[in-house]
Amino acid sequence: GESVGLHLPTLSVQEGDNSIINCAYSNSASDYFIWYKQESGKGPQFIIDIRSNMDKRQGQRVTVLLNKTVKHLSLQIAATQPGDSAVYFCAEGMNRDDKIIFGKGTRLHILP
Amino acid sequence: DTGVSQDPRHKITKRGQNVTFRCDPISEHNRLYWYRQTLGQGPEFLTYFQNEAQLEKSRLLSDRFSAERPKGSFSTLEIQRTEQGDSAMYLCASSLDGTSIHEQYFGPGTRLTVT
């Protein structure tokens, strides 16, 4: 079946360094991919999305890269801050219904 | 605060009891989604509405689960004869169909514990 997964369950990064969170997906028919951030006790929060016909998209301090050849998605966070501590999920969706399939998540831990 | 609210935030119930959760989406959003999330996992899609019409239900949604959105605004999710395996966080999200942004706005969730 369809699946969206992550390589690492936990990532520890020094404050101020850049973070790279990776994701593998299996459904080549997905129309877009999304990164969500979830802080403890809260619902997921949209960070950035990328259409399947793009390979890079930049937001504020974040960049998402899509490599369709190897079905790989990554989220780069520049100058990681304590407020970036959270679980990050990649997800994929289809235009026809916007139903999102989430992966298992990576916990980002910021070291002082 | 995303503008999506859920009530209650926490619910503890005994096995076999019925529970009902409510979701109030962002007012102009015509799509509403329900997800279930267990510890350490990503949210799993349960069902979604376009206005008042329920368009898709996951096979995760057994016959004990029912969702409604009677006037195309708020939605309720009812679980009948709860089982311990129903313990999870139930998340609601809303979005506006027809935009180029695929952003779903999530509520804070209702955490259900079945004892």
Averaged pLDDT, A73-94: 95
Q: Which residue has the tokens 């831990």?
A: A109
Closest CA of chain B from A70, distance in Å: 22
Q: How many CB atoms within 10 Å of residue B1?
A: 7
Q: Distance of CA A29 to CAs A26, A94, B8, B28, Å?
A: 9, 8, 37, 30
Dump pLDDT digits (tens) for B6-62.
999 999 999 999 999 999 999 999 999 999 999 888 999 999 999 999 988 888 888
Euclidean distance between CA atoms B63 and A103, whole angstroms: 26
Dump pLDDT digits (tens) for B49-91.
999 999 888 888 889 999 999 988 999 999 999 999 999 999 9
- B100 Cβ contact list (under 8 Å, min separation 6): none
Nearest residue of chain A to residue B54 (CA atoms): A97
Closest CA of chain A from B97, distance in Å: 9
- The tally of CA atoms less than 13 A away on the side-chain side of residue A90 is 28
Interface contact B32, partner A, CB < 8 A: no
Q: Which residue has the tokens 């966080």?
A: B89
C-beta separation of A44 from B43 below 8 A: yes
Nearest residue of chain B to residue A94 (CA atoms): B102
Q: Which residue has the tokens 């004990």?
A: B64
Task: Pick B23 or A103 by higher pLDDT.
Answer: B23
Euclidean distance between CA atoms A87 and A16, whole angstroms: 18
Inspect the interface and report whether the beta carbons of A49 and B4 lie closer than 8 Å: no
Structure tokens belonging to residue A71: 């079905």
